[in-house]
């Protein structure tokens, strides 16, 4: 059975923790899109880890971790991450890298930096991981597939062509030194040695795993609002963040994905620029939630920069779940809200004098104002509670109100960063 674990919002919803928890019963965990531009924070018996490239199954014994063809693979970062987790006592995970995955090259990162510098104040707030230049090259058909590292003549020709295309821009627009194709070739040869032991026809491997009835988790990065088609374009990422893309980015039939768990945090957070309707505008109020949020505050796992925070947004989340095709919702980081007397929840948007519950396109979204309803808080610490019935009545009220607004079942409730802090609503778990 294939399950997708994906973000219903802007990312940082706690997908890593949900995957890490569910990986205990899984055979395979697959990354299918994105690169080292976002991070999952995972806390378990080995300690606290920020993963950027490794699938979250790396901590679970017997799990095969697949880097699917849809990923933007930064080879040195993957190697560094593997080294780090092993040096901290985690057994060397079983890693398979798709022979069709493409490589993030140093010049992708350079172009990302140059472009952010050129845009200055109007920049996208890129993490400068080279993701947009990488996917641009992939679709312009000048990307480098891992399999091509083994065909030296072909690769050399390709690198000369890439430099011929990129150097005029680098020299004349960005005023930087030109790329040297021979130096890039040597870099590619180093990359080849690093990835060689892990390269697999992962589509064939997954097809076999499906036939054998294995449990496979597809692990999404970021969330619906960052999808290039359905998100807040252009403040989006460059690969699809939707469960549907899991089929493409992993190389499996779409109908095999039978469970789609949309992860949604009990309040909102976003990084970078872009419309954020339910944002808390009072800086003191925002800082309080930011400080208490997540595990150790709402600060980016990759960049360390403070995240923007807001109240739960039912309009964005319902849309987020719909586009993911959620069969289940995992409602996370609920424990953080225990300090509030009242909790505002955004139930609608006012756009040009009209109230709507539908998520608008970006230009209209930028004019949207939130319509809030206030729910009573539960004023207690819910960490450590393991059954739904033991949650305070107001806390259950909050969950059920939001579930009603979403129209999707909240099956999992996460009340702490730890792997065990997960309440299953048994009446809902399929």
Q: Which residues are catalytic?
A: 12, 40
| 57 contributes a contact to ligand GDP by CB under 6 A | no
DSSP 120: G
Contact 138, 171 (CB under 8 A): no
Pairing type for strands 94-98 and 47-51 reads: unpaired
Among 303, 370, 415, 423, indicate the residue that binds ligand GDP (CB under 6 A).
415
Tokens 């802090």 — which residue? Answer: 421
Interacting residues with ligand GDP between 258 and 297 (CB under 6 A) = 294-295
Q: Which is nearer to ligand GDP, 239 or 360 (CB)?
A: 239
Number of residues located near ligand GDP, criterion CB under 6 A:
25
User: Shortest distance, CB of residue 421 to ligand GDP, whole angstroms?
Assistant: 6
User: Shortest distance, CB of residue 232 to ligand GDP, whole angstroms?
Assistant: 17
Closest by CA to 22, choosing from 56, 62, 47, is: 56
Return the axis-axis angle of helices 152-168 and 181-195, rounded to nearest 10°. Answer: 130
Interface characters, 330-349, with ligand GDP (x: CB under 6 A): --xx-xx-------------
Alpha carbon distance 337, 266 (integer Å): 8
DSSP 172: I
Among 15, 166, 290, 425, indicate the residue that binds ligand GDP (CB under 6 A).
15
User: Shortest distance, CB of residue 226 to ligand GDP, whole angstroms?
Assistant: 11
* Long-range pairs for 286-292: beta carbons < 8 A, 24 or more residues apart: 288/339, 289/336, 292/336, 292/339
CA angle at 333 for the pair 328 and 339, rounded to the nearest 5°: 135
Q: Which is nearer to ligand GDP, 46 or 205 (CB)?
A: 46
User: Shortest distance, CB of residue 387 to ligand GDP, whole angstroms?
Assistant: 16
User: Shortest distance, CB of residue 28 to ligand GDP, whole angstroms?
Assistant: 19
Pairing type for strands 257-265 and 64-67 reads: unpaired
Interacting residues with ligand GDP between 355 and 414 (CB under 6 A) = 414
| 127 contributes a contact to ligand GDP by CB under 6 A | no
Among 2, 9, 10, 17, indicate the residue that binds ligand GDP (CB under 6 A).
17
CA angle at 93 for the pair 87 and 98, rounded to the nearest 5°: 125
Binding site for ligand GDP (CB under 6 A): 7, 11-17, 38-41, 43, 294-295, 301, 332-333, 335-336, 414-417, 421
């Amino acid at each position: 059975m294939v399950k997708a674990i994906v973000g219903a919002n802007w990312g940082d919803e706690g997908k890593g923790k949900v995957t890490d928890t569910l990986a205990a019963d899984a055979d395979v965990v697959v990354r299918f899109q994105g690169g080292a531009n976002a991070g999952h924070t995972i806390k378990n018996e080995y300690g606290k880890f920020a993963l950027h490239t490794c699938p979250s199954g790396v901590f679970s014994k017997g799990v095969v971790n697949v880097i699917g063809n849809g990923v933007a693979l930064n080879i040195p970062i993957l190697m560094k991450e593997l080294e780090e987790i092993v040096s901290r006592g985690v057994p060397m995970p079983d890693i398979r890298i798709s022979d069709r995955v493409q490589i993030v090259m140093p010049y992708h990162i350079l172009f990302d930096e140059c472009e952010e510098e050129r845009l200055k104040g109007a920049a996208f707030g890129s993490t400068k991981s080279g993701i947009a230049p990488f996917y641009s090259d992939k679709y312009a058909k000048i990307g480098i597939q891992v399999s091509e590292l083994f065909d030296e003549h072909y690769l050399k020709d390709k690198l000369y062509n890439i430099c011929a295309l990129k150097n005029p821009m680098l020299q004349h627009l960005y005023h930087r030194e030109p790329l040297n194709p021979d130096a890039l070739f040597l870099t590619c040869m180093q990359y080849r040695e690093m990835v060689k032991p892990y390269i697999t026809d992962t589509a064939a491997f997954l097809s076999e795993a499906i036939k054998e009835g294995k449990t496979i988790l597809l692990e999404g990065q970021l969330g619906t609002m960052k999808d290039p088609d359905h998100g807040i374009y252009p403040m989006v990422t460059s690969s699809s963040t939707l469960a549907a893309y899991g089929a493409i980015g992993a190389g499996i039939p779409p109908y095999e994905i039978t469970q789609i768990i949309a992860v949604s945090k009990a309040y909102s957070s976003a990084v970078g620029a872009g419309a954020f309707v339910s944002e808390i505008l009072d800086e003191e109020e925002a800082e309080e939630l930011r400080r208490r949020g997540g595990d150790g505050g709402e600060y980016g796992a990759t960049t360390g920069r403070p995240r923007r925070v807001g109240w739960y947004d039912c309009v964005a989340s319902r849309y987020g779940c719909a586009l993911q095709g959620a069969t289940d919702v995992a409602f996370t980081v609920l424990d953080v809200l225990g300090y509030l007397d009242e909790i505002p929840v955004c139930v609608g948007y006012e756009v040009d004098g009209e109230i709507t519950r539908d998520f608008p396109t970006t230009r209209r979204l930028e004019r949207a104002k939130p319509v809030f309803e206030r729910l009573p808080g539960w004023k207690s610490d819910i960490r450590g509670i393991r059954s739904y019935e033991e949650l305070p009545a107001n806390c259950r009220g909050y969950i059920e109100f939001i579930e009603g607004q979403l129209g999707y079942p909240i099956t999992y409730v996460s009340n702490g960063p730890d792997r065990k802090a997960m309440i299953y609503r048994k009446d809902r778990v399929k």
